[in-house]
Structure 1
Amino acid sequence: MLHFPHAKINLGLHVLRKREDGFHDIESVFYPVALRDSLEALPSNETKVILHQSDEEIPLQKNLVYKAWKLMHDKYNLPAQEFHLVKRIPSQAGLGGASSDAVSALKICKEVARLDISDMDMFALAAEIGSDCPFFLNSSAQIVTGRGDVTGDIDFSLAGLYIQIVKKKTLHDGSTGIPTPEAYAQIVPDENRPSVLQLISQPLGEWKNILHNDFQPYAAKKYPEIGEIIQKMYDSGAHYAAMTGSGSACFGLYIQKPENHFPGNEYFVYEGFIES
């Protein structure tokens, strides 16, 4: 059983308010991109997650693919599986790779056991794993609110644009990304502003001045290389460039392929025309 979990980018990310449960209410448009991992499940006597093309060492109990299997196992007595996960989506990037992997694991488990689970129940299972997991049950643009677990389909497309996603492999302090709790701690919530849906309805050329990621100012201040990536994208003709999620990957949207270069030994780079 083989699935190809996809990444996402955030078009705008507004932190609206802090909730009584300690989480934050957000508003963002999540947009799927064709950057994908691959996840295969094989019958086994013992459940394990084997990582390929990754130097990460994640304890089994903390791996979201394992958590997805454990959730299905506990609820539906699912048999053991050996998961092989080929990582192409970088971690600690704001691209949703781990969440997407987990949702693919849920889908695989459902198919392996031939379970009759409703869309609503799959949504609840995904939300139990992580706030942004429900988005990955579908492959379309969605408005995301709540703590990231309330989604709604929207009629919106970036098809035909060229996207470039860039992440510095190691930041100047030796870290590989920005911890989400640290990023949230720097935010001053603001709910008195136009909605992200209103903003993305404006021409692409205006987004630079109106469509913002609330995490970006802090991230770019602490890690100037993030701001430098975004500026390089604009200098290369991007109509819009921003950090995605809480970082540290950035993306640029172009009319045509840019003539810039990010050395592969220092940067992760994904690029191509958006097909849908």
Structure 2
Amino acid sequence: MKKQELDEPNLRIGDLARRTGLTPELLRTWESRHGFPRPQRLESGHRRYTEADVAMIKGVLHRRDAGTRLEVAIAEVTGATRIPVHSVYAELRRAHPRLEPHRLKKSTLLALTWAIEDECCARAQRATIFGAFQEEQYYRKAQPRWNELARVGHATLAMADFTSEQGDDERPVRVQLADDSPMRREWVVVCDAPDLPAVLAAWEIPGQQTVPDGDRLFESVWTIDPQAVRHAARVCAHVAQAAGVAEASTLIEELAGEPEPLSSDPADAASLFGRVVAYVDRLS
């Protein structure tokens, strides 16, 4: 078979399941837990696989059946030396290409962020919440709101370049970003909850040292799609794990499963949209 045919993403997940003897549910579980197999996504969000994926899965199964642990078998077959992507924005754009980016001023991002935070506090049940603030000075301005989120959330983590130590009983949990972390330039809020999934991710356009703070531009995406929200939450959990946060491993396990479908009640989206409009109007 020619390499071009091996690389052609023309297999649906059902096709892959039939070719490998696995179920679609198990393939999705492997993808969420091990990053394998790694599908290509259509603009609709549907997964597509290649003949090379079939061959790699069969190689993994052969090694597993010979007694090799699954994660080791996957690493052997894929040559998995890839460092996990530690950018929420980059991962959302890669895995969910239907999300349309927009350049927004910081003041508009604040309106979106406050709306998500408010809805999360008011309605989300057992939410897992992540925020990325770039620098500690920006986190300090949001800290009263995030203290409240930590009070009502299942788990709440704040990521930034922190210069002060965290107190023993202080919440949210702080995640110290590495010097070379792409998250240092990102603005992120993730609310992963069955009744209120939402994510906003943005990265700051370079070269704005002389721009007034409220006018700084960010390239941004946001959505209430549960799959995209869960993907963003997983990235954040892996960033926290790499930073040595003890709770991160448990969160990674909790976020490994598929999220619940989005409620069909239009009032849910309308409530969030209403808050956004109110905050935009207030800040304009």
- TM-score band (shorter)? under 0.3
TM-score by length of 1: 0.26
TM-score by length of 2: 0.25
More strand by proportion, 1 or 2? Answer: 1
Between the two structures, name the one with larger relative contact order (CA 8 Å, sep ≥ 6).
1
More helix by proportion, 1 or 2? Answer: 2
